[in-house]
């Protein structure tokens, strides 16, 4: 009798385990525990006919088995119900709805610009460097022939940083331009040099549509025995042609920078109006407001440049008159807003996705 109950138990548990839906669970219940013909019910009903010595043993095993089967059926019922709930909620899924797109990011327009400029200059044999953003007063000003008290310092007002370094000889500041890299590189190396520094700079600036406190600058310089202004013009023209993918006309205007002599401001013929200072499509005699990109001058100012000043070579430790070199500095942010016709330079550092997604 005992082994019969044990076999019944094994079969019942196996059936419960294999049940795939609630109706088969109901059948199992009826098969073993049903009031009329349940197999276990019948055993329990027959207990009264057993001899007294068997009654308690068989009775307690049959009762334990009954409780166990009831419990297992209950558990399985809950398990099946939760599967059904889950499935019915996924039945609400409308497969005809458009799927969710996984958004792919892309490089920021400034990074794209940096890479483009780096590609062009490296194709011309320039080495690409970055340099430190936290600079010393010495490299940012002194070594570039802008001593303490020089009026030109006003043009490059910046953020000075308190240094914790003991015996720090020169004050620390956030570099205002990438030009300090001229002396840093020349101190360590001998010409011929062809270097392009692309990096972040900072200014203490009242910001507006064309001025930002944080900006990227491209500093280029070449030093050798016979570098001339002709090399400078050729380099700049080649660069601008490659950048704007057209034949760009440039002009040099005399200017002043403490670290170059002579110094030039370089303009290029406005790409919007073709240098005519009139909006495209306007015929002679027609009244128009004039080209907004070049402020009706036909020219767009793009960079400062010149021949490296003897004082700068002196700070680099080069013998007087031994080398000549050209240098130029371009505001990368300005270049990018010109290339993409962006109306406010502050968009570039805004982090505004509505702006960034357009590039
Ligand atoms: N460093 C200058 C600035 O921040 C730009 C510049 C002008 C760089 C003339 C040069 C240069 O190398 O020759 O405004």
Q: What does the mean pLDDT of the chain come to?
A: 90
**95 part of a folded domain:** no
**103 part of a folded domain:** no
Residues in the chain: 359
Q: What local confidence, expressed as pLDDT, does residue 264 receive?
A: 97
Q: Are residues 213 and 270 in the same domain?
A: yes
HSE-CB for 111 with a 13 A CA cutoff:
6
Among the three residues 60, 90, 120, which one is the final residue of a domain in this structure?
90
Greater confidence, 293 or 316?
Answer: 316
Q: Are residues 64 and 113 in the same domain?
A: no
Q: What is the pLDDT of residues 124-156, one digit of tens each?
A: 999 999 999 999 999 999 999 999 989 888 888
**24 part of a folded domain:** yes
Query: What SS3 state is found at 296?
Result: coil
Q: Are residues 124 and 59 in the same domain?
A: no
- Pull the structure tokens for residue 144: 């570039």
Q: What is the pLDDT of residues 179-213, one digit of tens each?
A: 999 999 999 999 999 999 999 999 998 888 888 99
Greater confidence, 213 or 343?
Answer: 213
**99 part of a folded domain:** no
Q: What local confidence, expressed as pLDDT, does residue 315 receive?
A: 97
Taking a C-beta distance cutoff of 8 angstroms, is the pair 60, 68 a contact?
no
Ligand 1, closest atom to CA 221? 12
CA distance 106 to 172: 35
Q: What percent of the chain has pLDDT over 70?
A: 95
- Pull the structure tokens for residue 237: 């023209």
Q: What percent of the chain has pLDDT over 90?
A: 58
Domains identified in the chain, total number: 2
Place of tokens 């700079």: 201
Q: Are residues 7 and 138 in the same domain?
A: no
Pocket perturbation via mutation, ligand 1, pick of 259, 266, 301, 325 by most ligand atoms within 8 A of CB: 259
**273 part of a folded domain:** yes
CB of 324 shorter than 6 A to ligand 1? no
Mean pLDDT, to the nearest integer, of 7-31? 91
Q: What local confidence, expressed as pLDDT, does residue 50 receive?
A: 85
Pocket perturbation via mutation, ligand 1, pick of 180, 203, 218, 305 by most ligand atoms within 8 A of CB: 305
CA distance 340 to 109: 9
Q: Are residues 48 and 12 in the same domain?
A: yes
Pocket perturbation via mutation, ligand 1, pick of 204, 257, 306 by most ligand atoms within 8 A of CB: 257
- Pull the structure tokens for residue 113: 């610009």
Mean pLDDT, to the nearest integer, of 285-300? 75
Q: What local confidence, expressed as pLDDT, does residue 279 receive?
A: 64
Mean pLDDT, to the nearest integer, of 15-42? 90
Q: Which residues contact 199 (CB under 8 A, 6 or more apart)?
A: 130, 131, 133, 175, 178, 181, 216, 217
**64 part of a folded domain:** yes
Domain holding 27, by residue range, is 2-90
Q: Are residues 140 and 242 in the same domain?
A: yes
Q: Are residues 212 and 264 in the same domain?
A: yes
**349 part of a folded domain:** yes
Q: What is the pLDDT of residues 82-111, one digit of tens each?
A: 887 776 666 677 778 888 888 889 999 999
Ligand 1, closest atom to CA 182? 12
Q: Are residues 171 and 279 in the same domain?
A: yes
Q: What local confidence, expressed as pLDDT, does residue 85 receive?
A: 75
CB of 329 shorter than 6 A to ligand 1? yes
CB of 158 shorter than 6 A to ligand 1? no
Confidence of residue 287 (pLDDT cuts 50, 70, 90): low
CB of 177 shorter than 6 A to ligand 1? yes
Q: Are residues 23 and 170 in the same domain?
A: no
Evaluate if residue 284 carries a pLDDT over 70.
no
Q: What local confidence, expressed as pLDDT, does residue 221 receive?
A: 98
The Å distance, Cα 328 to ligand 1 centre, comes to 6
Q: What local confidence, expressed as pLDDT, does residue 332 receive?
A: 94
CB of 8 shorter than 6 A to ligand 1? no
Confidence of residue 342 (pLDDT cuts 50, 70, 90): confident
Q: Using only C-alpha atoms, what is the Rg of the chain?
A: 42
Mean pLDDT, to the nearest integer, of 314-331? 97
Taking a C-beta distance cutoff of 8 angstroms, is the pair 179, 259 a contact?
yes
DSSP 8-state assignment for residue 126: P
Confidence of residue 289 (pLDDT cuts 50, 70, 90): low
Among the three residues 40, 61, 90, which one is the final residue of a domain in this structure?
90
Q: Are residues 162 and 281 in the same domain?
A: yes
CB of 309 shorter than 6 A to ligand 1? no
Q: What local confidence, expressed as pLDDT, does residue 88 receive?
A: 65
CATH number of the domain within which 115 lies: 3.30.930.10
Q: Are residues 149 and 277 in the same domain?
A: yes
**96 part of a folded domain:** no
Please write down the long-range contacts of 289-295, taking CB distance under 8 Å and 24 or more positions apart: 293/338, 293/341, 294/270
Q: Are residues 151 and 85 in the same domain?
A: no
């Amino acid at each position: 009798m005992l082994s019969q109950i044990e076999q019944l138990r094994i079969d019942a548990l196996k059936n419960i385990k294999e049940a795939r839906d609630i109706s088969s669970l109901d059948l199992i219940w009826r098969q073993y525990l049903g009031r009329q013909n349940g197999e276990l019910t019948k055993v329990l009903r027959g207990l009264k006919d057993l001899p007294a010595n068997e009654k308690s043993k068989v009775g307690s095993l049959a009762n334990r088995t009954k409780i166990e089967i009831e419990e297992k059926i209950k558990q399985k019922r809950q398990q099946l119900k939760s599967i059904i709930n889950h499935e019915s909620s996924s039945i609400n899924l409308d497969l005809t709805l458009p799927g969710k797109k996984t958004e792919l990011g892309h490089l920021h327009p400034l990074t794209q610009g940096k890479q483009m400029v780096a590609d062009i200059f490296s194709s011309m044999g320039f080495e690409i460097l970055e340099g430190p953003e936290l600079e010393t007063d010495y490299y940012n000003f002194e070594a570039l022939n802008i001593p303490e008290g020089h009026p030109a310092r006003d043009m490059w007002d910046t953020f000075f940083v308190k240094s914790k370094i003991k015996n720090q000889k020169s004050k620390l500041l956030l570099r205002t331009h990438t030009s300090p890299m001229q002396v840093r590189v020349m101190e360590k190396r001998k010409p011929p040099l062809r270097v392009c520094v692309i990096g972040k700079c900072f200014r203490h600036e009242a910001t507006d549509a064309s001025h930002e406190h944080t900006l990227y600058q491209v500093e280029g310089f070449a030093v050798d025995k016979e570098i001339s202004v002709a090399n400078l013009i050729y380099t700049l023209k080649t660069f601008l042609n490659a950048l704007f993918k057209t034949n760009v006309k440039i002009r040099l205007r005399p200017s002043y920078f403490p670290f170059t002599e002579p110094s030039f401001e370089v303009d290029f013929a406005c790409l919007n109006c073709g240098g005519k200072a009139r909006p495209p499509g306007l015929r002679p005699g027609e009244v128009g407001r004039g080209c907004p990109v070049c402020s009706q001058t036909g020219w767009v100012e793009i960079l400062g440049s010149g021949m490296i000043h003897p004082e700068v070579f002196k700070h680099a430790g080069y013998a007087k008159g031994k080398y000549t070199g050209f240098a130029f500095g371009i505001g990368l942010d300005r270049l990018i807003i010109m290339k993409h016709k962006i109306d406010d330079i502050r968009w570039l550092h805004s982090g505004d996705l509505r702006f960034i997604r357009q590039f």
